[in-house]
Amino acid sequence: MRRRLVEISGPGADIAIIDSFPMPLSMSHRRYTTKIFKDIADVGKNTTKNVKFYGFKAHVMTSATGIVLNYSITKASIHDVRVAPELIAERPCKNILADMGYIGEAYAKDLGYNFWTPYRSNMKGAKGQNSYDLIRCRGKIERCFSILNSNYDIEKNRARSLTGFQILY
């Protein structure tokens, strides 16, 4: 079904949006004593909330219309930049909107894609880089995450085995 939705995604098919969100198994005070998924999960940092957690991280690529094109679930410590080539390779798209984790001109040139990341207001060249329309377009993936979390509680893992985790996600 997802493949068919991607095929008919229509306008904005030449633009993809990449972002990630944490999937904690336990929060900061229990992150080193948790034994569940000990071979495949690890400690990472949720920079939005400024806390460390033990668990996984979901990396998602959506179209400009908000349809999920590709996703990957990794250990919490894996940086966004390391997963981006895998996401893009399975669903190539020339223009990619990303967050601050993807800043780096050398990185974008190495992959051969047009990466656009909004700059902080105090960064050099921020006024020329930050287009209102592109920032608004990036809001689609945040809305997608919000829907996944409110309808399916995607950030709260209730699985206690790898099989259970795969069934849930």
Single pTM value for the model: 0.78
Kindly indicate whether the domain formed by 2-161 is annotated with CATH number 1.10.357. Answer: no
**pLDDT for the residue numbered 143:** 81
Could you tell me if 165 and 159 are in contact, meaning their C-beta atoms sit under 8 angstroms apart? yes
The residues spanned by each domain of the chain are 2-161
Assign 5 a pLDDT band (cuts: 50, 70, 90): low
Cβ atoms within 10 A of the Cβ of 21, count? 17
Query: Who wins on pLDDT, 71 or 120?
Result: 71
CA pair distance 44, 101, nearest whole angstrom = 14
Q: What is the dihedral of CA 4, 6, 11, 14, to 10 degrees?
A: -140
Could you tell me if 32 and 44 are in contact, meaning their C-beta atoms sit under 8 angstroms apart? no
pLDDT digits (tens, 9 = 90+) for 20-39: 888 888 766 666 666 777 78
pLDDT above 50 (res 135): yes
